[in-house]
Structure 1
Amino acid sequence: MSRRKNLLLCFDAFGTLIKPNQPVLKQYATVAEQCGLGVLSISQLQASFKAAYKAESKANPNFGKATGLGAEKWWGSIITKTFSPFIDDDKKKALPFLTKKLLYRFSSSEGYDLAVSDLGSRLKRIKERGEQQGRQTIVGVITNSDDRIPGILTSLGGMDISGFRYGQEGSRDVRKYDIDFHCMSYDVGFTKPSNVIFDAGMAMGLELVDKGREGEEWTKVYVGDEVRNDVLGASDAGWHSVLVLNEKENGVGLDGVGDRIPEGLLDLGDQEVFLVNGIVRRMKASSLKQVLEWFEK
């Protein structure tokens, strides 16, 4: 078997590395009831949230960064617009408290779980395995998100998370961290499936290359849970891509893709084909755990 190339292994965030510990709008309804705003159903909140999100995205693109509003005020506006139709005037004084509680919840472990509970230790083993095989492994996050991701991952515990973000300073010592950098659309200004955000992630990874390895070849692998944004976006940008089939999406989600995925997605399999010869661009896995186990080999 040929010597493995160095590995740049990047992940989507929401739906791949982290997931809500309950459906988001169920959490909205629960917190609203705790704040004394009465019992609201998910169906009531769904249309209101969708309309608020659409309006705020149009008025203040990129989670509010494009107009200087910022992500926190952007989400605060969405929360207020979502609940206002269902709240009597005498209860609207509770909206600021509700907003504060929801902003905290969805910026921390209150709202999310890791998709794999021992993610940190598994990423450590992947890096250690790479060193044993004489190659460097850099792990990053490339995601369509505002700037909450590093804080959420840190709050979930069990991992060493670098603060290195696109366009900002941060530690370049990859041996300190399980996740070495964060490339978020909030910072880049472009969203997946644009090549721009994947190219930005690649550039960040190369900034972390060990001295003396700058000219070596790299295999770029992106792992996500959406066909268009993650599989096709990464593949079109020159990456290998792995689709994680979450339980509710297992066997679905490929409609409309057509022949852009030849014979569907191939299962994770032969290491030589995937990592050395670079023949297969698009793969699938039953879970994030399966992906991590494969790279630990």
Structure 2
Amino acid sequence: MSLRGIKLVTLDATNTILKFRVPPWQYYADVAQDFGFTVDAQQVKTLSLKSFKTIDKKHPNFGRDTICWEEWWRQIVKSSFTGLLPAAADVDGIAKRLIEDFKTTKCWCKAHGSEKLLTLLRGKGISIGVISNYDPRLYEVLTNISLGSHFDFVITSYDVGFSKPDKRIFDYAMQEFKGFVAPSECLHIGDDVEKDYEGARAAGWHSVLVNVDVTETPPACKHVFTDIEALNLAIQHDNFVL
């Protein structure tokens, strides 16, 4: 993969450079068990995904303009256990534990090949950043999994007030670059077709999709890799043009 002319590369966080050690709903069930309750992880999953959509619609961007992000997650946790825990259960205690644990290596690990990718990019003299729809914990997460020092900047939707695929979050990233950079000199790497691939393209950037299920990607997505290691090989062999 040729990166000639690219000055800035940004990466998505969740499911791109960060991976869950276990599915979130399984970890929710594990923590509930620590509090003395047995719940079915698949039921937690169903409730969690539903509550995420409902609460995000009512309080977009982790409640940035309406409620604090911790309360946003408390509501997610409580909804995820609706009908699964007795009324006397310490759901606030479970939520507090989950909010803290999801800053740490208990829940997160580096995506395979992510450090190698960052080293390859740095070796080419490219500035590296993160653009993520995430709450303020992302800085701690990246530090805790020993990736934080690789980045020139980290941008969360919560901090800047708008989320991918909004063009403004990509414009904001260009302002973080030390010096002048044009959209055509920027590349974004992520796992979501709409938020990452199409969002970056609409901002005038190049984009690469890293998604294990490449068979489900639209034909318009030209630069698609099953994982970061496959992307690393393409960069090393310089075998296609953006």
> Could you tell me the TM-score, scaled by structure 1's length?
0.72
For residues 4 and 46 of structure 2, the distance between their equivalents in structure 1, rounded to whole angstroms, comes to 50
Q: 1:32 to 1:187 in 2, by over 3 A?
A: same
How far 1:153 sits from its partner (Å)?
1.1
Describe the superposition over 1:45-99 as per-residue Cα deviations: whole angstroms up to 9, x where unpaired. Answer: 13322343233223332212111x2212210221123224222123x2x223211
Match of 2:49 in 1: 50
Within 5 A, what are the aligned runs for 1:65-84? 65-67=64-66, 69-84=67-82
Identity of aligned residues (%): 28
Q: 1:216 to 1:41 in 2, by over 3 A?
A: closer
Match of 2:240 in 1: none
Letter in 1 for 2:215: G
Match of 1:241 in 2: 207
Match of 2:228 in 1: 288
Within 5 A, what are the aligned runs for 1:101-140? 101-116=97-112, 119-120=114-115, 122-128=117-123, 130=124, 136-140=125-129
For residues 107 and 155 of structure 2, the distance between their equivalents in structure 1, rounded to whole angstroms, comes to 22
Say whether the 8 Å CA contact 1:122–1:296 is kept in structure 2: no
Structure 1 runs, 4 residues or longer, greater than 3 Å off: 119-122, 214-218, 292-297
For residues 181 and 76 of structure 2, the distance between their equivalents in structure 1, rounded to whole angstroms, comes to 47
Within 5 A, what are the aligned runs for 1:31-46? 31-37=31-37, 39-46=38-45
Describe the superposition over 1:113-163 as per-residue Cα deviations: whole angstroms up to 9, x where unpaired. Answer: 11126x3454234313x2xxxxx4100011111122121111112x3x2xx
Letter in 1 for 2:54: A
Match of 1:87 in 2: 85
Match of 1:29 in 2: 29
For residues 88 and 178 of structure 1, the distance between their equivalents in structure 2, rounded to whole angstroms, comes to 45
Letter in 1 for 2:91: L
Say whether the 8 Å CA contact 1:6–1:217 is kept in structure 2: no
For residues 239 and 27 of structure 1, the distance between their equivalents in structure 2, rounded to whole angstroms, comes to 36
Q: Does 1:252 align with 2:216?
A: yes
The number of residue pairs the alignment matches comes to 235
Stretch of structure 1 that moved more, 73-82 or 50-59: 50-59
Describe the superposition over 1:166-191 as per-residue Cα deviations: whole angstroms up to 9, x where unpaired. Answer: xxxxxxxxxxx411111211122222
> Could you tell me the TM-score, scaled by structure 2's length?
0.86
Q: 1:122 to 1:44 in 2, by over 3 A?
A: closer
For residues 70 and 139 of structure 1, the distance between their equivalents in structure 2, rounded to whole angstroms, comes to 29
Say whether the 8 Å CA contact 1:63–1:186 is kept in structure 2: yes
Match of 1:188 in 2: 160
Q: 1:54 to 1:215 in 2, by over 3 A?
A: closer
Higher RCO (Cα < 8 Å, 6 or more apart):
2
Structure 2: segments with no counterpart, 5+ residues? 238-242
Question: Between Structure 1 and Structure 2, whose CA radius of gyration is higher?
Answer: 1
For residues 168 and 189 of structure 2, the distance between their equivalents in structure 1, rounded to whole angstroms, comes to 17
For residues 178 and 49 of structure 1, the distance between their equivalents in structure 2, rounded to whole angstroms, comes to 32
Match of 1:98 in 2: 94
Structure 1: segments with no counterpart, 5+ residues? 131-135, 162-176, 266-282
Within 5 A, what are the aligned runs for 1:149-160? 149-157=138-146, 159=147
Structure 1 vs Structure 2 CA RMSD = 2.4
